[in-house]
Amino acid sequence: MNTMRAALAPAPLRTRRRVFALSLLAAIVGILALSGVASADFWTPESGGSPQAESIDTLYKIILAVAAVVFIGVEGVLLYSLIKFRTKPDAVPVQIRGNTRLEIGWTLGAAVILVVLAVVTFAMLDDIRNPPNSDADGFPTDRIVNVQNASAYQPRPPNGRALNVEVNGQRYAWRFTYPDGDTNSLNNVFSYETMYVPTKTTVALTIRAQDVAHSWWIPALGGKADAIPGHLNFTWFKVPRPGVFRGQCAELCGRNHADMTAKVVALEPAAFKRWLVTKKAEIKASDEAAGKRRAEESEQLEQGESPVSEDLPKAEGE
């Protein structure tokens, strides 16, 4: 009777749990595999926009390969031993004391792997930190002389020439300023959200924040650089060909942090020059218009008229 009842009962809980666990595992593996196909950079850092992003990607792949060999080796031996030497319940397995030779072997092996990885990392760090010169057909640039506090270290190309762009993080936008070399910093070209840069040209970024900590990050153009109030930070990139690179503030900076996106548009040097000239003219024209309006308003004030412009809404009762 008991046997019959058990046979008629729904599948035991253990079996259902096992089926659930297996389907969950299959789903996760499927999602991971598919997203790997959808984006080649799923397993490794994004790259393709700048030489140091390539170096970071290469270094990551070397370390990933070594780690994969170690992981497969260790897990393989573990699984093999679990299956091959499994015993029946209550049976005591053979007790083996430490094998000195084996223990020295895997300690030395691990140490050698770490030393090799450290040497490879330090050998590649130079290319990641220090920018190369611009190409001969890049945008003509001045020597960068913008370090304002002595403790700040700004990596420079060997010839010291780069296009300097000041990056200012603020809740919730990035402002980019292009110093033009004169002493008046108020007439510099600037833009918000989208940074335009010339290709084949080393671009040196000076990064600061005006309110809270932010983090400048365009993955395909290299690593992150924190934007900290009261502190200067630096990074660089050199884009080989025209393109658009997107990024995101990488430091939780407030409730609209997710809206704090950034975009770098790389243009051919001639097109960049056109952008710079047009932008400068636009800023000059609107400065002049504002100046004219201020002059008109102060004239009206002197004549005792209300300086409030016609197009502004009037207060009630006027």
Give the interface with Cu ion as residue ranges (CB under 5 A). Answer: 214, 249, 253, 260
| DSSP-based three-state secondary structure for 64 | helix
Of 209 and 276, the one with the shorter C-beta distance to Cu ion is: 209
Query: CB-wise, 189 or 253, nearer to Cu ion?
Result: 253
Closer residue to Cu ion (CB): 260 or 276? 260
Helix (H) or strand (E) segment spanning residue 14: helix 13-38
User: Cα Rg for the chain, rounded, in angstroms?
Assistant: 31
Place of tokens 């070209």: 189
Rounded CA gap, 17 and 219, in Å? 41
Cβ 214 to Cu ion, closest distance in Å? 3
Q: Is the CB of 195 or the CB of 239 nearer to Cu ion?
A: 195
Pairing of the two strands 233-238 and 202-209: antiparallel
Q: Which is nearer to Cu ion, 208 or 214 (CB)?
A: 214
Specify the long-range contacts of residues 36-42, CB closer than 8 Å, at least 24 apart: 41/219
Rounded to the nearest whole angstrom, what is the least distance from the CB of residue 75 to Cu ion in the complex? Answer: 40
In angstroms, give the least distance from the CB of 49 to Cu ion. 21
CA atoms within 13 A on the CB side of 180: 13
Residue count of the chain, please give it. Answer: 318
Query: CB 68 → Cu ion: shortest distance, Å?
Result: 35
Rounded least distance, CB 250 to Cu ion, Å? 8
CB of residue 44 to Cu ion, shortest distance in Å: 26
Nearer to Cu ion, 162 or 260 (CB): 260
Q: Do the beta carbons of residue 198 and residue 243 sit within 8 Å?
A: no
Closer by beta carbon to Cu ion, 225 or else 249: 249
Q: Give burial (CB, 10 Å; 0-12/13-18/19+) of 179.
A: middle
- Token code pair at residue 72: 């497969």
In angstroms, the CA 99 to CA 318 distance is 97
* Minimum gap (Å) between residue 223 Cβ and Cu ion: 17
- ∠ CA 82-87-92, rounded to 5°: 110
Distances (CA, A) of 8 to 2, 86, 297: 10, 34, 93
Closer Cβ to Cu ion, 156 or 214, answer by number = 214
Instruction: Report the distance separating Cα 70 and Cα 76, nearest Å.
Output: 10
CA 154 – CA 131 distance, rounded (Å): 10
